[in-house]
A = this chain, B = another copy of it.
Amino acid sequence: MTKSALQIARAAYAPKMPESLKGSVKIVEGRKTESIADQADIAKLFPNTYGMPLLTFEAGGAAKSFPAVNVGVILSGGQAPGGHNVISGLFDGLKRLNPNSKLYGFLGGPGGLVDNKYMELTSDIIDEYRNTGGFDIIGSGRTKLEETAQFDQGLENCKKLDIKAIVIIGGDDSNTNACVLAEYYAQKNAGVQVIGCPKTIDGDLKNEMIETSFGFDTACKVYSELIGNIQRDCNSSKKYWHFIKLMGRSASHIALECALQTQPCVTIISEEVEKKGMTLDGLVAEVAATIIARAKEGKFFGTVLIPEGVVEFIPAIKKLIAELNDLLAHHEAEVNALANNDEKRALVAKLLSADSAATFASLPVAFANQLMLDRDPHGNVQVSLIETEKLLIDMVKAYIKKNEPALGAKFQGQPHFFGYEGRCAAPSNFDADYCYSLGYTASVLIGEGKTGYMASVRNLTAPTAQWIAGGVPVTMMMNMEKRHGHMKPVIQKALVDLNGAPFKKLVECRNEWATQPSFVYPGPIQYFGPTEVCDQPTKTLALEQKK
């Protein structure tokens, strides 16, 4: 396999670690934990893994000997930069505890555990993947571990390999399932521990003890590089408005972080759109207002950041989509029997509630057709297929033509969507260090016999040596939520906090960014330069932890 010069040079990078992980670790038990809500329900569902104490690691533990142990690792869900470093940290940590320990990787995500598809991860293999992006070392997958039949099958497969612990690297859903699995194995006294690691570029697995999920830092830096480059371009040619959609279906953390890094003219934050109860037309009017204001000063260019999932946060559209999902499930044949989209829309409009019919009628035809037709195998609208960036360009153009005819012809939009460009980038120094530390922390939790814990590394805006490693009971992050009609224990998703420092910073600055020359050009991630260039955490973290 041909390697790029950077990949070769980067392989030699030794991730920095918290001081506490460098020698024998002293485990300090903190307070007993409670779930963030619905304590009684969660305690009942997790009799073995509820209420466990927080664990903090300190340097200077007594030297101990650890038995050799076989461990399995799983990459779950969408890729995030740094997954390979979690695995290499885990590998190195296990080998330090006992060089005879073995690490197995289950292939293609959680399905690999159920189907017993695996490979042993030896040092030769690990060394090929240190500090690289991607999840290709063992692949990932979206199979959900939810059924006891899967758990039993997984246990059987663990027994074949003498695996005593599983590390699941995933987002909120995967870590919820990891905890359910931990509880199940504990109840059965199966002798298999389960440890989680917080992954997702979306940044929505975040709470008091998990300051950020890994990959968010790198992905946002890649997107910000591109946004900055586009801003330089539009500031040079002065003729386009670039509408840039950013991956992240639920939360707008990515859009917010990229805005803080690049200072665009307009940033849409889904959580704010929902809070304000905005309509699509209202959102369009708001974006257009900035464009018109700039045009009146002779500036026919700018940038708009759009979170991928924004249309689902517009209350009227959220309601419409829910009704459509329901309605089409019952009337699919009737609708499909009609000859063309005009007739289909007319029938659908008749079947909707009055409110939703009005919303439906207000939408551009192409968008209305898309909501009616493109459905996933479960009958849901595939929101990720909606080209929100183009929808907004078209609607803004129409709005300006109608309200400011003299300016209409001068508005030219360019759509972009960034997602796959950043999910598998090679990790920044921050993510390389953070991920390696998370993996190493998982090895310590395994050595200590823990289960139902998530690896936690905190104090992330301090120098790496001062980062605080430890373990957090997963149940601590849970509450009960309705899923597919049933109440389930789940890790609460962290949306953008409209009272938090990062959003407040945006609010404080956005008028200036909209009207004054404010673009920032972050440039590409650097691995070898001065520390202020190479080792900065996200603006989100810096603002959240500002003393």
A residues in contact (CB < 8 Å) with B:
1-7, 9-10, 78-79, 108, 132-136, 139-140, 222, 225-226, 228-230, 232-238, 240, 242, 261, 263, 414, 416, 420-426, 517-518, 520-530, 532-533, 536
Residue of B nearest to A234 (CB): B420
| Contact flag A426-B523 (CB < 8 Å), given A226-B421, A420-B414, A533-B9 | yes
| Contact flag A422-B525 (CB < 8 Å), given A236-B136, A520-B2 | no
Q: In the complex, A237→B143 CA distance in Å?
A: 12
Q: In the complex, A528→B6 CA distance in Å?
A: 12
Majority secondary structure of chain A interface residues (helix, strand, loop or mixed): loop
Among candidates B229, B523, B527, residue contacting A10 with C-beta atoms closer than 8 Å: B523
Among candidates B3, B225, B420, B517, residue contacting A1 with C-beta atoms closer than 8 Å: B517
Chain B contacts for A517, CB-based, 8 A: 1
Chain B contacts for A238, CB-based, 8 A: 108, 139
| Contact flag A79-B6 (CB < 8 Å), given A229-B422, A526-B528, A528-B530 | no
Among candidates B6, B222, B230, B530, residue contacting A533 with C-beta atoms closer than 8 Å: B6
Report whether B9 and A532 are in contact in the complex, using a CB–CB cutoff of 8 Å: yes
Report whether A133 and B232 are in contact in the complex, using a CB–CB cutoff of 8 Å: yes
**Which 3 pairs between the two chains have the least Cβ-Cβ distance?**
A524-B524, A528-B529, A232-B424
Report whether A235 and B527 are in contact in the complex, using a CB–CB cutoff of 8 Å: no
Chain B contacts for A522, CB-based, 8 A: 4, 6
In the assembled complex, the CB of A231 is this many whole angstroms from the nearest CB of chain B, namely: 8
Report whether B527 and A526 are in contact in the complex, using a CB–CB cutoff of 8 Å: yes
Chain B contacts for A230, CB-based, 8 A: 420-421, 424
Q: In the complex, A203→B132 CA distance in Å?
A: 31
Q: Give the oligomeric copy count.
A: 2
Chain B contacts for A261, CB-based, 8 A: 4
Q: In the complex, A9→B536 CA distance in Å?
A: 14
Most buried by B among A132, A233, A423, A517: A233
Q: In the complex, A240→B384 CA distance in Å?
A: 15
Chain B contacts for A532, CB-based, 8 A: 5, 9
Q: In the complex, A449→B235 CA distance in Å?
A: 35
Q: In the complex, A1→B4 CA distance in Å?
A: 36
Report whether B420 and A9 are in contact in the complex, using a CB–CB cutoff of 8 Å: no
A-B contact pairs, 25 of them (CB 8 A): A1-B518, A2-B520, A4-B523, A5-B533, A6-B522, A6-B524, A6-B529, A79-B237, A132-B232, A132-B521, A133-B232, A134-B521, A136-B236, A222-B524, A225-B524, A229-B422, A229-B425, A230-B420, A230-B421, A232-B425, A233-B423, A425-B524, A524-B526, A526-B528, A528-B533
Chain B contacts for A4, CB-based, 8 A: 228, 261, 520-523
Q: In the complex, A425→B525 CA distance in Å?
A: 13
Chain B contacts for A233, CB-based, 8 A: 79, 134, 420, 423-424
Q: In the complex, A450→B261 CA distance in Å?
A: 46
Q: In the complex, A132→B231 CA distance in Å?
A: 13
| Contact flag A421-B229 (CB < 8 Å), given A235-B134, A521-B132 | yes
In the assembled complex, the CB of A78 is this many whole angstroms from the nearest CB of chain B, namely: 8
Q: In the complex, A467→B490 CA distance in Å?
A: 63
| Contact flag A424-B140 (CB < 8 Å), given A4-B521, A134-B236, A528-B526 | no
Most buried by B among A2, A7, A521, A528: A521
Chain B contacts for A6, CB-based, 8 A: 522-524, 526, 529, 533
Q: In the complex, A148→B507 CA distance in Å?
A: 53
Residue of B nearest to A228 (CB): B4
Report whether B232 and A521 are in contact in the complex, using a CB–CB cutoff of 8 Å: no
Chain B contacts for A523, CB-based, 8 A: 4, 6-7, 10, 425-426
In the assembled complex, the CB of A258 is this many whole angstroms from the nearest CB of chain B, namely: 13
Q: In the complex, A40→B66 CA distance in Å?
A: 88
In the assembled complex, the CB of A304 is this many whole angstroms from the nearest CB of chain B, namely: 14
Given contact pairs A2-B263, A79-B232, a sample of 4 additional A-B residue pairs in the complex whose CB atoms are under 8 Å apart = A6-B522, A139-B237, A233-B423, A233-B424
